[in-house]
Structure 1
Amino acid sequence: MNDKMFPNLIQNYINHQWLSARAILAVKDYDLSTINITILNEIPGNTKTYLSIDAVINQEKFVIYPTEFLNSLDLTDIPSHVLTLKFGVFIIFIQNINLPRLCKGTRLSMKTLMNKIIEATILNGKFKGEDVLLPRIPMISTDMNFKFKSLQFPVRLTFAMTINKVQGQSLQLFGLNLEIHASHIDSCM
């Protein structure tokens, strides 16, 4: 499916109009990660990996929820502990920090990868074509029964996204990934 949705990726990944017009839609977050990493690896260039800094807010719960456990979580409102990016990759903003310019759902293309800040070009909306600087920001998860803070760039790779996340997006071409993996079937039985 990657070849059908992103044909001639090596020639087209820096074409913002081409890139922002397409996406692969999937049902499960597990599938998103797999698809996004596969496409990331097809794009030429060096990767840069950013690790989050995670900690529970209530220090008394540190023993129950050690940093290694927090790093392993994959939540919808917090970026992954390991965020791997490249020049030209397609990302989506997952927090509101500078309304209306940088809000949840804004799609961007990576431009410059630095240690403490990244530069990206906005691909959709009123500010399409503008370059923005994105800092690492502290985010507090609301998906768990305890609170923890993660310091990371508020973005995710987004060649593929869930059907829920695509609401409000304008796409000219999309593909549906409806594959069911054996590991998902076994866990449902």
Structure 2
Amino acid sequence: MFERIDFTNCAIRAPINEHCNEINGKVVELLPGDSKTYLSVNRLIAEEEREALNFPLEFLDRLDLSGSPPHKLTFKEGVIVMLLRNLNVSIGLLNGARFIVRKLHENCLDLHVISGDKAGERILLPRIDLSPADSSLPFSFERRQFPICIAFCMTINRAQGQTLKRVGIYLPQPVFAMVNYMLHSYELHHTKC
């Protein structure tokens, strides 16, 4: 039986996105309710039509770039999500802001703000066009998707600056020296709001 847990002030930290995606997927499966999957719309930005033929849309769909939402997002009501971009600083839509999904609509998400100055407020978040800034790619493309990711688990780097009461660490292999771990733990307990 599912026991209701308050996830608003806790998270898991893992070294890489692959680990976070795996953990987030498992947590979402455990939550009650029906899930809804949102697929992105990707568009290659090519100077020549021939160039677009080299990179089919299926290839773009498989790209999972750091700081960009994936092609496929699966949510349930009650899922914790985090904003991946600054959208509107004046209303608290900042990179790293955390939310609870209240309602799943076709083209927007009804979110409850759980971090920052706007905690407790409600926002409607639409899909937006995002251009991943990965300079290692030999092309540019645009992805229309919600600019968020599931945030029960975050990478160690992404979680810096988050104010949380409890943090779990998932380290399937060594990733940093004990000194760095102690520094992260110290910051967690001595962060002032």
TM-score (norm 1): 0.85
- State yes or no: 1:82 paired with 2:72: yes
The aligned counterpart of 1:149 is 142
Change (3 A) 1:62 1:10: farther
Say yes or no: does 1:69 pair with 2:69. Answer: no
Q: Tell me the SS of whatever aligns to 1:19.
A: coil
State percent identity of aligned pairs. Answer: 35
After TM superposition, list the pairs within 5 Å mapping 1:119-138 onto structure 2: 119-138=110-129
Q: Which residue of 2 aligns with 1:5?
A: none
2:101 paired residue number: 110
Q: How many Å separate the matches in 2 of 1:33 and 1:127? A: 27
- Contact 2:67/2:84 (CA < 8 Å) preserved in 1? yes
Q: Secondary structure at the match of 2:7?
A: helix
| Pairs within 5 Å for 1:48-63 | 48-58=36-46, 60=48, 61-63=51-53
**RMSD after superposition:** 1.4
Partner amino acid, structure 2, of 1:50? Y
TM-fit CA distance, 1:70: 0.5
Aligned partner of residue 179 in structure 1, secondary structure: coil
Moved more, 36-45 or 71-80: 71-80
> What do residues 75-112 of structure 1 show as CA deviations (whole Å, max 9, x unaligned)?
11221101000000000000111114111100000001
Task: Tell me the equivalent position of 1:98.
Answer: 88
Q: Which amino acid aligns with 2:166?
A: L
**TM-score for the superposition, normalised by structure 2:** 0.83
Q: Where in structure 1 do 4 or more consecutive aligned residues deviate above 2 Å?
A: none
The SS at the match of 1:34 is helix
Q: Please say if residues 32 and 160 of structure 1, whose CA atoms lie closer than 8 Å, have aligned partners that are also in contact.
A: yes
**Aligned counterpart in structure 1 of residue 172 of structure 2, from 166, 171, 179:** 179
Deviation readout 1:130-161 (Å, 9 max, x if unpaired): 00000000000111432110000011001000
Deviation at residue 10 of structure 1 after TM alignment: 3.5
Equivalent in the alignment of 2:13: 25
Kept in 2: contact 1:10–1:42 (CA 8 A): no
Question: Which SS does the other structure have where 1:33 is aligned?
Answer: helix
Q: Which residue of 2 aligns with 1:37?
A: 25
Matches of 1:128 and 1:9 in 2, distance apart?
Answer: 26
How many residue pairs get aligned? The number is 168
Q: How much has 1:59 moved relative to structure 2?
A: 5.4
- 1:109 aligned partner, one-letter code: I
Of 104-113 and 51-60, deviating more is 51-60
Could you say which structure has the larger radius of gyration?
2
Q: Whole-Å Cα distance in 2 between the matches of residues 34 and 124 of structure 1?
A: 24
